[in-house]
Structure 1
Amino acid sequence: MLATTLAGVISITAAAVFSFALLSKMVERMVSLSVGIMLSTSLLHALPEAFESQADPRSLFATLLGGLLAFFMLEKFAILRHSHHHEGDGHQHAHGHDKREAGKAGWMILVGDGMHNFTDGILIAAAFLADPGLGIVTGLAIIAHEIPQEIGDFIVLLNAGFTRKRAYLFNLLCSLMAVAGGLLGYYTLDRASGMIPYVLVFASSGFIYIAVSDLMPQMQRRATVRESVPQVLLIGLGVAIVLLLTNGSH
């Protein structure tokens, strides 16, 4: 419960601070750090933990494939969910249309975030059941990848007419869904421990997909040496953090 609560509160609060202060450079640095943390958490810890269990490797690989495809479809849905009407698009609408449309987009983002946080809670619980150290690292990885995403959501909420206070409050309430997911995952997976390797693989598929499909292409848009060196160093720092917190063992 502590891990799921802190994961939600820290990521929401950090995203609010960065969004409201418009610290764009820090956001870009956070992307590089989160890539290192997510990839090393998945490839050095969660996946080895899953594949050293008694589960069938072919079934685990099938879960990995299914997870990657599932996150691909979720991203497709997210792209559709985030596309909404903008002022000045040349279309004629009734007075107040823009505010209503932007408001709908804001509420849809909150619903999607609540569902995503609920899933994060289940994944943190699964990681803690496998090993407390892995649970801590998983919580840190979720915080790292949530901050850039939440920053984008804050911007959309403000555009939808939410005040800073309301945007923070509603996002904070959505983050508490992680606690509900953590409780459900803990008590359910404890009685069905055979499912833990599959949940860990599914979690890893999400981290790998987000890092490789979304974050790394974003980093590649800045290909100068001045931008690339800090990126590589921060990816390495993310890997080092994971290795340090787990003493190099999964």
Structure 2
Amino acid sequence: MSTLSWIIVMSLLGGALSVVMAAVFAFSARAAWVPHLISYAIGALLGASFLEVLPHAMTSGGDAETSAGFVLGGILVFFVLEKLVLWRHCHFEHCEGHEQTVKQALDHSGHDHGRSGLLILVGDTFHNFVDGVLIAAAFMEDVRLGVVTSLAIIAHEIPQEVGDFMILLHSGYSRGRAFAFNLLSSFATLVGALLAYFALSSAQSAVPAMLSMAAASMIYVAVADLIPGLHKRTELRATVQQVTLIGLGIASVVLTHHLVDAWID
């Protein structure tokens, strides 16, 4: 397949497929699985950023110091965006991580007349658009890198979307409307990917910087948004499960790299 075809296919998978899978979890009341999915997603994000995306950014740009600077700046940018309620999804009142979001959303004692749901949809659309840009930048560098990056994005989108579904339901949305709005929001991934592809085609020098921003995004989401929620469970059994699943997430990145190598070669 051409690079553009890869970008289109993986953008659709990263957006629409994650929404469909999240709906299966959310609507079948398997919210208890979300903490396990989050642990796996952390491993996939960290594995993709440190083992794939960041090394490519440094080698393709020819300047490790510049790439590291973009990563540092990217983390600061994502922090500011999150503070402005534009980047991540924990907009629900008193929300403290995905596990707490789901727990609160499952409490059907009332709803907030759609306020939280509207914020979720706005933030989700922006987030999906940025994901599409990152997917395109990765594929512009290397198909293998694009596949691994897409895998990491899909891995963290599923538990995130489960939490979003729960908040939308709590906000008074019907299951059908929650699914339709989330699916519509997911197409922002494809829009971002296509815009980035045509922009980066005429500005190849910007690809290393975009890869560094992609690494910063993954590191920030894993370390700032997801890992703190895991520390709420301090018992030994939970800790062992978390470490094991994080390891599986990292291993899946390595395995995907080798499988794609074998397939393409």
Query: Is the structural similarity TM-score above 0.5?
Result: yes
Q: Give the TM bin, normalised by the shorter chain.
A: 0.7 to 0.9
How far, CA to CA, are the matches of 1:114 and 1:5 in structure 2?
14
How far, CA to CA, are the matches of 1:229 and 1:109 in structure 2?
32
Structure 1 residue matching 2:61: 3-state secondary structure? coil
Task: Give the conservation status (yes or no) of the 8 Å contact 2:92–2:167.
Answer: no
Which digits, 9 at most, give the CA deviation of each residue in 1:100-139, with x for residues without a partner? x532332222122111111111110111111111111111
Identity %: 45
Structure 2 residue 85 is matched with structure 1 residue 74: no
How far, CA to CA, are the matches of 1:117 and 1:45 in structure 2?
21
Task: Give the conservation status (yes or no) of the 8 Å contact 1:84–1:102.
Answer: no
Task: Give the conservation status (yes or no) of the 8 Å contact 1:45–1:249.
Answer: no
Q: Which of these residues, 144, 147, 170, is aligned with residue 155 of structure 2?
A: 144
Residue 194 of structure 1 and its aligned partner are, at CA, apart by 0.8
Structure 1 counterpart of 2:230: 219
Alignment of 1:1-250 (within 5 A): 1-78=8-85, 82-83=91-92, 102-247=113-258
RMSD of Structure 2 on Structure 1 (CA): 2.3
Which digits, 9 at most, give the CA deviation of each residue in 1:40-68, with x for residues without a partner? 10001100001112343333222111111
Residue 22 of structure 1 and its aligned partner are, at CA, apart by 2.1
User: Structure 1 segments of 4 or more deviating over 4 A?
Assistant: none
Aligned length: 237
Letter in 2 for 1:82: H
Q: TM-score of the superposition, structure 1-length normalised? A: 0.88
Q: TM-score of the superposition, structure 2-length normalised? A: 0.83
Identify unmatched segments of 5+ residues in structure 2.
1-7, 95-109
Task: Give the conservation status (yes or no) of the 8 Å contact 2:49–2:218.
Answer: yes
Task: Give the conservation status (yes or no) of the 8 Å contact 2:89–2:164.
Answer: no
Letter in 1 for 2:225: D
Determine which structure has more spread, i.e. the larger CA radius of gyration: 1
Change (3 A) 1:241 1:83: closer
How far, CA to CA, are the matches of 2:233 and 2:202 in structure 1?
47
Structure 2 residue matching 1:247: 3-state secondary structure? helix
Residue 26 of structure 1 and its aligned partner are, at CA, apart by 1.4
Identify unmatched segments of 5+ residues in structure 1.
86-97
Structure 2 residue matching 1:186: 3-state secondary structure? helix
Residue 75 of structure 1 and its aligned partner are, at CA, apart by 2.0
Letter in 1 for 2:171: A
How far, CA to CA, are the matches of 1:2 and 1:249 in structure 2?
15
